Amino acid sequence: MNGTNVSREVLERLAGELADLTPEARKAATYVLENPRDVGVSTVREIARSANVKPNTVVRMARQVGFDGYEDFREPFREAIREGAVSFPDRARWLQAVRATGDMGGLYADMVGSALRNIEETFGDIDEATLKSAADTIWNARNVYTLGVGVNNSNARNFTYLASTGMVQFHSIPRAGSNATDDLAWVDQRDVLIAITCKPYRAEVVAAVALAREQGVRVIGISDSPASPIIRGSVHGFIVAADTPQFFPSSVSTIALLEILLSFVIAGASPEIVARVERFHERRLQLGIYHKEQP
């Protein structure tokens, strides 16, 4: 059972007990019922101050509905945050609350745990044949445009940078001083667009994907839901898990997927790719781009 459902059960239980609470505990319970998102990001003193009651009153309220104390009562609401059921600002406030309590070990465990779960969930639903098919589509394209904005801009550019060490048909968009729809002005069915966006979906990415489809481009969508507007109608759609205790979607699975997808492209490419990669790095050595220790 996920944290969202558990916190809802707590609220329902609290509402059912409301009439049996003391007047002061009822004030605390009413505040919680009206501001449930505050519970996961607030200490007992902060909740008491907001409800205009004493901290002990909040603790008694928690015990009356079956919890050992406030921390036990708050846990389902914190779990809802970890599961991504609240807004980005609320997640940021929760992180600050964790730091204030000195519970960085818990944060560390949550971050590592979410990263591992995201990887497991993402690749548990992607098989070798799906990756190979997408890689073949990429390799056979005239041009490959990789589109990401915000946090996904660096992910898209890193994919293009790595691909460009051996191939010339990869382009990151939007280009500097341009916008994605202009960058796709002359694309057609010979080209591929790899588009990346997670909730809340970026409007410019959705618009660029729609334009690309109108022009016959084969779209490879990477998003966090099958209902995503860039997944629906794509030639290849990849769903990445992006849950995190942080206030922004995790990029761990997206980066891993792009790296694996590129490895499939290289594996299925013509033999001269290996020689081109070697020449690329030899050139860097000759130009002194790589640091060399002095003898």
Domain shared by 159 and 260, yes or no: yes
User: Does residue 121 lie within any of the structural domains?
Assistant: no
> Residue 249 is part of a domain; what is its CATH number?
3.40.50.10490
- Enclosing H/E stretch for 194: strand 192-196
| pLDDT level of residue 233 (50, 70, 90 thresholds) | confident
Angle formed by the axes of helices 70-82 and 3-17, nearest 10°:
140
Nearest of 1, 193, 249, 155 to residue 240 by alpha carbon? 249
User: Does residue 291 lie within any of the structural domains?
Assistant: no
Mean pLDDT of 170-184: 94
Q: Which of 102, 118, 152 is the last residue of a domain?
A: 102
Does residue 2 register a pLDDT over 60? no
Distance CA 110, CA 244 (A): 8
Residue range of the domain that includes 238: 127-286
Nearest of 73, 67, 81 to residue 47 by alpha carbon? 73
- 192 close to 138: Cβ distance less than 8 angstroms: yes
Domain shared by 76 and 160, yes or no: no
Domain shared by 147 and 69, yes or no: no
Q: What is the pLDDT of residue 249?
A: 85
- φ, ψ of residue 235 to 5 degrees: the values are -65, -40
User: Does residue 259 lie within any of the structural domains?
Assistant: yes
Distance CA 195, CA 54 (A): 52
pLDDT (tens digit per residue) in 119-133? 998 998 899 999 999
User: Does residue 218 lie within any of the structural domains?
Assistant: yes
- φ, ψ of residue 189 to 5 degrees: the values are -65, -10
> Residue 29 is part of a domain; what is its CATH number?
1.10.10.10
- Enclosing H/E stretch for 239: strand 236-239
Q: What is the pLDDT of residue 3?
A: 39
Domain shared by 132 and 95, yes or no: no
Q: Which of 102, 118, 143 is the last residue of a domain?
A: 102
User: Does residue 120 lie within any of the structural domains?
Assistant: no
Domain shared by 32 and 157, yes or no: no
Alpha helices in 125-271 (DSSP H): 128-139, 151-163, 180-183, 203-214, 252-267
The structure tokens 């070798």 sit at 128
Does residue 81 register a pLDDT over 80? no
More confident residue, 102 or 118: 118
pLDDT (tens digit per residue) in 50-74? 999 999 999 999 998 889 999 989 8
User: Does residue 109 lie within any of the structural domains?
Assistant: no
Structural domain count, the chain:
2
Does the N-terminal peptide bond of residue 226 adopt cis geometry, omega within 30 degrees of 0? no
Classify burial at 271, counting beta carbons within 10 Å of its beta carbon; exposed 0-12, middle 13-18, buried 19 or more.
Answer: exposed
User: Does residue 27 lie within any of the structural domains?
Assistant: yes
Domain shared by 91 and 133, yes or no: no
Distance CA 161, CA 80 (A): 37
Mean pLDDT of the chain: 87
User: Does residue 113 lie within any of the structural domains?
Assistant: no
The pTM of this model reads 0.69
